[in-house]
Structure 1
Amino acid sequence: MISGHAKESIERIFIRVAKSRLTRRPDDVCEIVPASERGARSLPDANVVVLTISGLVFRLLLILHFEEDERTREYFASEASERPFLEDFLEICNLCCGGVNQELLQYFPDLGMSTPYVLSARCVPYLEVLKPGLLQTYSVTINDGVALGATLCMCAHAPIDFVAEAGVVEDTSGELELF
């Protein structure tokens, strides 16, 4: 039900947004490769942040895998904030999902986003039960040291076919979106 063009577009949107929203500084390097590729890092003790974008014809789960190790905490902890690591990280994950949502709004009106929540990564294999039309996991590495994972899981309720433009992500950090 999800065309090859649509799958490629969703993956391209995610990768473009993740490279701009998961990095903290403009000169940071973010590499994203399919988890099945050689050299991809695995996160055996990870937790996941689950975010959902839902529309009339689909539900897209954006799942970000993380381990709360020293490198990850240091990278994502806001220097000006005294909030716990998880609060800062959830906000960054939410910004990433919001960027994907904004791009998808060009093709699908009336999308909604969920509040992020944290689960054990042991739940990820059960995504198959949803019978997704798209299920892809990625290895994300920032500055050769911070390791994350990402899973895209899309379930379609009707045929989906679109081709996303290959533009750059607009920086809309700080904008307030009203529903």
Structure 2
Amino acid sequence: MITDDARKSFETIFAQAARTRLAPSAGDSCEITAADPQARGETLGPRALVLTISSIEFRLLFVLHFHDDETTRQYYLGTDTSRTLSEVLTETGNLCCGYMNQQLVAHFPDLGMSTPYELSSRCVDYLGELKPNHVWAYDVRVGGVARLAVTLCVCTKAPLDFKVDVVEETQSEGELELF
């Protein structure tokens, strides 16, 4: 069971993470629209990057869906031909999920975060196998041009209740965090 406060907290943390980490340049727009997780076939890109934040109390899957199309490549890569869109979005997704991890660690000090891995977007068709307590789906338009989608899935075996107040911040340049 996840309380309403916990659901709202995950939503708030994700929205702030998306606004500050999914856009490569500070000040670029990031429009987030809630979507129906069961009816998203057309909005999902064919590729997905998956990260996991895990604690003793819960597991959060963060799935970043994308199209490897000219518009998205131009937005995220520009003229950089030394890297692929997948590489750039892996770093971007890692920053976004890392921000979420930083916000959650105040409430769950035992958090761990996986490294990103790439799958087909259709992997979300099997989230039900994890017996999730809650699934969120979002369509995201970054910089007014790049279309992404995000699926968040929380699984817990015990009641989960917490409340966060996310402090607005500007986009960071990727500081190194030591553990």
- Which structure 1 segments of 5+ residues have no match? none
The TM-score normalised by the length of structure 2 is 0.90
Percent identity reads 45
Contact 1:137 1:150 in 2 (8 A): yes
Aligned position for 1:77:
77
> What per-residue deviation string (whole Å, max 9, x for no partner) do you get for residues 75-111 of structure 1?
1126567222221111111001100000001111021
Change over 3 Å in CA distance of 1:41–1:27 after alignment to 2: farther
User: Aligned partner of 2:85: which letter?
Assistant: F
Q: Matches of 1:41 and 1:169 in 2, distance apart?
A: 33
Residue 156 of structure 2 aligns to which amino acid in structure 1? A
Aligned to 1:7: 7
Structure 1: which 4+ aligned runs deviate by more than 4 Å? 78-81
Taking structure 1 as the reference length, the TM-score comes to: 0.90
Match of 1:29 in 2: 29
Give the 5 Å matches for 1:84-123. Answer: 84-123=84-123
Report the alpha carbon displacement of residue 25 of structure 1 after superposing the two structures with TM: 1.6
Q: Residues of 2 paired with 1:74 and 1:67: CA distance?
A: 12
**SS at 1:148 equivalent:** strand
| 1:160 aligns to 2:134 (yes or no) | no
Paired residues of 1:55 and 1:110 also in contact (CA < 8 A) = yes
2:65–2:148 Cα contact (<8 Å) kept: yes
CA contact (8 A) 1:43 1:67 kept: no
**Could you say which residue in structure 2 is the equivalent of 1:136?**
136
Q: Is the 8 A contact 1:32 1:139 kept in 2?
A: yes
1:22-66 per-residue CA deviation (whole Å, 9 max, x = no partner) reads: 0112221111011139xx994355211000000111100000110
| 1:10–1:32 Cα change, 3 Å | same
State the SS of the aligned residue for 1:26: coil
Q: Identify unmatched segments of 5+ residues in structure 2.
A: none
> Which amino acid letter does the alignment assign opposite residue 97 of structure 1?
C
Q: Does 1:125 align with 2:132?
A: no
Residues 53 and 114 in structure 1, CA contact (< 8 A), matched pair in contact too: yes
Q: Distance in 2 between matches of 1:2 and 1:67?
A: 32
Partner-residue secondary structure (3-state), 2:108? coil
Q: CA separation of 1:79/1:20 partners in 2, compared to 1, >3 Å: closer, same or farther? A: farther
CA deviation map 1:99-152 (0-9, x unaligned) = 000000111102111010111111111101111111011000113321100001
- The answer to whether the 8 A contact 1:50-1:62 is kept is yes
